[in-house]
C-alpha cells in the first residue's frame, strides 16, 4: 500500500465507455480512488452501490469517485448500467494502476494462495497527494467511511 503524503501515481486507463481517463484530469478535485476485486460479486456490488447512494454528498464536498478493477470495459459497462452507478469505473487488465498503487497481493482463496486485488481505498487531495489510505476495507462500510474522511 502507498503511504500518506506520497504523490499519487498518474495513470491512463479506459473507462466503461472505452474512453481514456487519467488521474491528472482530476487535479483541483478530491478523488476517492477505490480498488476492488471484481464486478458483480457480492462485496464489490455492495461497495459500489454504497458509493452510488452517497454520490450526491461526495459531489457536494467537491469529490469524485473512481473505481478500478481488472475487469474489462464491457464488464464495467454492464455493472454500471445494472446498478445505475453514477461514477466512473476504470478497466485495468494490464494491472498498470493496480500495481502502481501496490494493491496486487497474495490472497488466500479457499485454502489456495492466489494473486488478486486487495480491496483498498485512497483519498487524494486537489494537488494529487495521498491524504488517506485504507487497505483491507470492509465493502459495506467503506463509502460512509470515505464520506466521513472528506
Query: b/e per residue, 44-82, with b = 16+ CB within 10 A?
Result: bbebbbbbbebbeebeeeebbbbbbbbbebebbbebbee
Active site residues: 44
Pairing outcome for strands 30-35 and 63-69: parallel
Q: Which three cell numbers stand for residue 149?
A: 474522511
Distance from chain centroid for Cα 58: 14
User: In the beta sheet, which residues pair with residue 68?
Assistant: 35, 90
The Cα–Cα gap between 128 and 58 comes to: 17
Amino acid at each position: 500500500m502507498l503511504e500518506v503524503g506520497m504523490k499519487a501515481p498518474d495513470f491512463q486507463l479506459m473507462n466503461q465507455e472505452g474512453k481514456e481517463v487519467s488521474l491528472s484530469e482530476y487535479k483541483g478535485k478530491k478523488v476517492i480512488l477505490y480498488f476492488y476485486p471484481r464486478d458483480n460479486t457480492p462485496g464489490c456490488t455492495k461497495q459500489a452501490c454504497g458509493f452510488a447512494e452517497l454520490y450526491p454528498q461526495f459531489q457536494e464536498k467537491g469529490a469524485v469517485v473512481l473505481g478500478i478493477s481488472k475487469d474489462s470495459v464491457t464488464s464495467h459497462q454492464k455493472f454500471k448500467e445494472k446498478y445505475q452507478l453514477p461514477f466512473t469505473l476504470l478497466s485495468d487488465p494490464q494491472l498498470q494502476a493496480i500495481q502502481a498503487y501496490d494493491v496486487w497481493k497474495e490472497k488466500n482463496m479457499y485454502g489456495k494462495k492466489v494473486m488478486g486485488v486487495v480491496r483498498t481505498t485512497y483519498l487524494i487531495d486537489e494537488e494529487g497527494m495521498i491524504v488517506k489510505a485504507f487497505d483491507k476495507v470492509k465493502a459495506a462500510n467503506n463509502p460512509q467511511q470515505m464520506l466521513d474522511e472528506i
